[in-house]
Structure 1
């Protein structure tokens, strides 16, 4: 125990006293913060005492980020290079790795297209043959919500939501956790589907940017309440964790902490409508990689935005979507005309025949919004991006799970959504499924597992 305490004291001291060669600051990273992962629970159990002793000595303390993964953050306070400091700490006994804290953002900033050599193929299960599907004797009646702006929601029709709801429209038992900019807890079109949380929790995870509330409405705005818009999951249990700040950007450690919190809250599905702000490698974000893998290994299904940079992710991975773990789907943005979304300034949808699984409507999507936000104002807004496509897949996954009697695993759910997608000619060679997610077909096949 004494040795571990000494290690942690040395760690904090190393971040405040050892000089390193000065280097130019790299973009999209925190100027002084590192993420550190310890090798054992024994090391973590001593962290509080060691950090308190360090604080008493006037140095920075370790901050716990993700308890399940033994992840902490620590600041470099001596002005030395975070990159060099990370190497120094990684070499210390008891530490698995230390990495520079990188920045994340909502899926939206354009990056230059480059084509380095293709990465090693990801070992990912290919879609399996369809299960024996018990088709209904007749196609179910189409459910048409009476929400005020239903006629302006073009996406549900492309995904066959009306007939899908005719088969199944209750995901109240499924917890969908949105790691985003928070949520407007008092929004009248969301209140019925938001999981009850304490006032203190709500205060910490309130949306003051609008994006998280928009994503929440795509999944869980209350349908047929004569108000606003209809969410695709119809009835569900929405959780929200604020991984990004009020300007739409944030840091990896906060997102990792949210993923860990989603698991603690019992989430079945996690939605990530965000990307790393810079073109990074897996080794740059081992903590994010570890948190995604831990969640999918735990059985959580993850829907991740592909990003809006017109990049071919087969050649230029963008994380977290490009981690490629079984149980994670990466989602492109399809327009109303069935084409992959294109935009000026290289801001169209990313794609990848082997790395982006499917597409969903993400262009000109009307959904809930935080009316207190001054940027645009209004309780409903139209937004565009793969940020809007990913939650559509999360919502359909939320319906497929109970339709299967709870028997679908996250990996089976991933494969089901790919193989039941509706082919679109323009998506051939662009996404793995060559099509758009189809609620009716997904629910129909999910029922074969029940």
Structure 2
């Protein structure tokens, strides 16, 4: 059975006292105890990739509503509560995101994450269905970068602000791949505007696609989308050791891409964050039209494609060709011995002549005996 204990070294943030009123209000929607294999899992097929990479050792920061540790498929390498409301996930969103990225594979369970070998770090930035305090988002991004997170998942959309831009630039300089949701367009929102941090340069912005591969109608086309991830009719882990079905939103597309980023970072440790982002974009399944970017992510291509413009020191995915054999590895053919050939032909000819002589003798001798060795005569 999968253990639930945290790694001894957790994020260096103090645990606040949680008021009783807050604890009582923590009541996420009820999930189901039955898991299912969604179209997203069938389409991306992460198990096929695990022979090449599971994302082993890559730190992935999840800036969200917290993560429920009671779920048997979720392991955390560290956690931090920035809200002052405790670590528990009172929304369910953070637990779903964590599962999409790195839920452990369990025999008989149909749901599993993209990169089960990744080391998940949970930063609780909100305690409601809203996006929470942008100031806490800034703090979480910087803290994750300082803790060595190589992938940072931000399923949050806010307006542009200098502090957030600076935090993104700080994390990128620390070689973190920042994956962010492109944002959802709601009817009450009016005219869509770019969502941040997804719209910042250097961020891997993710739009949402449905089961038919088409862009989801709610996916924000004003944000400069880099790639698409599954974001409609999603199944994921949920608080209470449960699962939730039919989840929609670009905030659920982003963790699929974050999982692929972890797979790539483990497979190609010499690539920097910009090169990892470029590889994910270059290997996506091509698409056309606004809001689609390079198309749907392709995990297998992302970890196996050989890209000619990558640095020479990047690991070679295909097995290297065998080295040339040394000159003396194969014995040379000896020169032709003509005398031996002539002798063999002479012996063979003599044997054939002797054989013919014996055959003639076997015919003629009996005939001579019958005539008393008298010469024959013609009539």
Please give the TM-score of this superposition, normalised by the length of structure 2: 0.66
Matched residue, 1:403? 267
- Pick closer, same or farther for the CA change 1:339–1:440 going to 2, 3 Å: same
The equivalent position to 2:102 in structure 1, one of 185, 198, 220, is 220
Cα distance in 2 between the residues matched to 1:201 and 1:308: 24
Shift of 1:250: 1.1
Alpha carbons of structure 1 residues 197 and 330: separation in structure 2 relative to 1, 3 Å: closer
Q: Is the 8 A contact 1:369 1:381 kept in 2?
A: yes
Deviation of the 1:205 alpha carbon:
2.9
Q: Which residue of 2 aligns with 1:393?
A: 257
Asked if residue 444 in structure 1 is aligned to residue 310 in structure 2, the reply is no
The answer to whether the Cα contact below 8 Å between 1:305 and 1:321 also exists between their aligned partners in 2 is: yes
Instruction: For 2:131 and 2:81, locate their aligned partners in 1 and report how far apart those are by CA, in whole Å.
Output: 24
CA contact (8 A) 1:209 1:248 kept: no
CA 1:209–1:199: 2 relative to 1, 3 Å:
closer
SS in 2 for 1:195: strand
Q: CA deviation at 1:446?
A: 6.9
What is the CA distance between 1:201 and its match in structure 2? 11
- Greater C-alpha radius of gyration: 2
* Misfit runs of 4+, over 6 Å: 198-203
- Partner-residue secondary structure (3-state), 2:49: helix
* Distance in 2 of aligned mates of 1:228 and 1:253: 38
Aligned equivalent of 1:171: 55
State how far apart, in whole Å, the 2-side matches of 1:351 and 1:341 are.
Answer: 10
SS of residue matched to 2:113: coil
Q: Would the aligned equivalents of 2:155 and 2:181 in 1 still touch at CA under 8 Å?
A: yes
Q: Distance in 1 between the 2:206 and 2:100 partners?
A: 14
Runs of 5+ consecutive residues of structure 2 not aligned to the other structure: 1-33, 316-379
For the residue of structure 2 that corresponds to 1:241, the secondary structure is: strand
Equivalent runs, 1:7-46 vs 2, <5 Å? none
Preserved contact between residue 403 and residue 446 of structure 1 (Cα < 8 Å): no
- 2:198 counterpart (313, 321, 325): 321
Count of residues paired in the alignment: 274
Q: Is 1:149 matched with 2:35? A: yes
**Partner residue of 1:260 out of 135, 138, 142:** 142
Please say if residues 66 and 81 of structure 2, whose CA atoms lie closer than 8 Å, have aligned partners that are also in contact: no
CA 1:253–1:200: 2 relative to 1, 3 Å? closer
Determine if contact 1:195/1:238 at 8 Å carries over to the other structure: yes
The answer to which structure has the higher strand fraction is 1
Report deviation, 1:187: 1.3
Task: In structure 1, list runs of 5 or more residues that go unmatched.
Answer: 1-147, 343-347, 372-377
Instruction: Give the one of 68, 76, 79 matched to 1:184.
Output: 68
Identify if the C-alpha distance between structure 1 residues 299 and 359 changes in structure 2 by more than 3 Å, giving closer, same or farther: same
Of 305, 308, 321, which aligns to 2:181?
Answer: 305
Match of 1:235 in 2: 117
Kindly indicate whether residue 290 of structure 2 is the aligned counterpart of residue 421 of structure 1.
no
Q: 2:275 aligns with which of 407, 412, 432?
A: 412
Contact 1:160/1:438, CA 8 A, preserved across alignment: no
- Aligned residue for 2:318? none
Deviation at 1:364, TM superposition (A): 1.1
Quote the Cα distance in structure 1 between the aligned partners of 2:71 and 2:110. 11
- Answer whether contact 2:80 2:87 (CA < 8 A) is retained: no
Query: How far did 1:323 drift?
Result: 1.2
Partner of 1:295: 171
Note if contact 1:310-1:349 (Cα within 8 Å) is conserved in structure 2.
no
Q: Deviations over 1:394-418 (max 9, x none)?
A: 00110111111x1111000111111
Secondary structure of the 1:422 match is: coil
Q: Distance in 2 between matches of 1:292 and 1:208?
A: 27
Quote the Cα distance in structure 1 between the aligned partners of 2:265 and 2:91.
Answer: 31
Q: Which residue of 1 aligns with 2:233?
A: 364
